[in-house]
Amino acid sequence: MHKLWAIVLLLLAMPLAAEEWRVVGDEQFAPYSYVGQDDDTPRGLDVELVRAVLDETGQPYNLRLYPWARVKQMLERGEVDMAFQFAGTPERQAQYELVGPLRSGSTVFMTSNRVVLQDWRSLDDLSPYVIGQVRGYAYEATFDKADLARDSSASNPRQLVSMLLAKRIDIIVGDREQLLYFVREQRAEAEVRILPTPLVEMPRYVAFAKGDKHRAERFAKALEKLRADGRLQALLERWTH
């Protein structure tokens, strides 16, 4: 009887153990996460990092990429279990169970050559200009709250770069490598420059729903293992060299 009861418990537990985690990320965050032109296959550095950690957990998962606004909405509504990639701001830390960082990126200001500003020391130096940013993105706590002229009509960084090149805005803010990626895509390197002083070195995290500590701890444990044995660094170096 005891053996039969043990088998019943095992069978009941199996569907729970095998249940896929629903994982989503930003589809317009190249070169970190994006979908190919010919198919919907998720690609990018962050996609590979997340897959490597999830594979280490042994947890089945289904990873898809969507527009950023939808990614946040799906996590907030409980439609998915995990999302990436979130800036490590106090606001995000209050909203979610953040795990990481997976990596860090330099958040910078980019301007066109027609703008005379060469660098900035305080946010007041930016006040004469219209600053473009992606709707719904968090950049840095002080900057996000500053009283500056902003244009948040862009829905993704590629569109933001296009707006700068079209002279619709004076300055844009974003991840250095990402902005340069989209500038090169349009062969416009000679038309823009990056202000030397970065806004912030921003760590990037994965997010679970607030209170979902079990999944967060499983992911964190696997992430630390990959960091300790060098596999995480090897992936980063393959993409950045």
Average pLDDT, the chain: 91
Length of the chain: 241
Confidence band, pLDDT 50/70/90 cuts, at residue 239:
confident
- State pLDDT tens for residues 5-60: 545 444 444 444 469 999 999 998 899 999 987 788 999 999 999 999 999 999 99
Residue 26, class by beta-carbon neighbours within 10 Å (0-12 exposed, 13-18 middle, 19+ buried)?
buried
Task: Give the end-to-end CA distance of the chain in Å, rounded to a whole number.
Answer: 61
Question: Please, which residues bridge with residue 132 across strands?
Answer: 151, 172
pLDDT of res. 149? 98
Q: Return residue ranges of the chain for CATH 3.40.190.10.
A: 17-104+202-240, 105-201
Full DSSP string of 64-98: EEE-HHHHHHHHHTTS-SEEEEEE--HHHHHHEEE
pLDDT at 165 over 90: yes
The architecture that CATH gives domain 105-201 is 3-Layer(aba) Sandwich (3.40)
- State pLDDT tens for residues 60-109: 999 999 999 999 999 999 999 999 989 888 889 999 999 999 999 999 99
Of 2-6, 34-38, 228-232, the range with the lowest mean pLDDT is 2-6
Domain 17-104+202-240: which CATH number of 3.40.50.720, 3.40.50.300, 3.40.50.880, 3.40.190.10:
3.40.190.10
